[in-house]
Amino acid sequence: MNKKRIVIGITGASGAPYGLCLLEECLRQGHEVHLLVSEAGWRVLKEEQGWEVQKREQLFYNRYKHLEGTLLFHPLKDIGASIASGSFQCDGMVIIPCSMGTMARIAQGISGNLMERTADVMLKEKKPLVIVPRETPLSAIHLENMLKLAQYGASIVPAMPAFYHQPQTIEDMVRFVAGKVLDQLHIDHQLYRRWST
């Protein structure tokens, strides 16, 4: 299997399980993952996963150290990190879940932190940028920002589970969305049963 280098960002939108599922699958397959978590993202991890987030990155290392891949954590303020440069070789970036605020700033070309800067690099270098928005209902502003990012080359993969594969658990629904993201990155997986007739 061809090992890839992927950046994963987790923001403050509801839907932390989507990001964690994607992270776990990438590491399980042996890929190199560069992880970013926004301040609001840490709050969502606490509320949705029950994580005590004082130790922050150590939580991720402890949770995923048994997996084959390489996990590298970057603080949001580290604007000089490797992933902030267009010369850094990377196979793509996913922001999952992506808050409407983060999406708006990326759509406007604002690079106020490392997550936004890295997304900007993906766009300018024409590398895969996958945005997984998690909001409902969507305002015209949200839709406009999604359209703008799609026109700039980003893939918009809303957190919309399907039911044709007959999910039995919440995990099945989460795995479907993570699988659709991996499809955008051309990474093989077995996270859900594909449609066949």
pLDDT in tens, 44-103: 999 999 988 677 788 898 889 999 999 999 999 999 999 999 999 999 999 999 999 999
With 70 as the cut, is the pLDDT of residue 197 above it?
Answer: no
* pLDDT, tens only, 109-148: 999 999 999 999 999 999 999 999 999 999 999 999 999 9
Q: Is 38 marked as a binding-site residue?
A: yes
Q: What is the pLDDT of residue 1?
A: 65
Q: According to the model, what pLDDT value does residue 129 have?
A: 98
Is 105 annotated for ligand binding? no
Kindly list the domain boundaries of the chain, sorted by start residue.
5-184
Locus of tokens 């700033």: 105
Residue 179 annotated as part of some ligand binding site: no
Amino acid at site 147: L
Strand-pairing partners, residue 7, are: 34, 93
Is residue 34's pLDDT more than 80?
A: yes
CA distance 189 to 43: 29
Of the candidates 6, 12, 71, the one whose C-alpha atom is nearest the C-alpha of residue 43 is 12
> Is position 101 annotated in a ligand binding site?
yes
What is the chain's length? 197
Whole-angstrom Cα distance, residue 132 to residue 96? 5
So what CATH class is 5-184? alpha beta
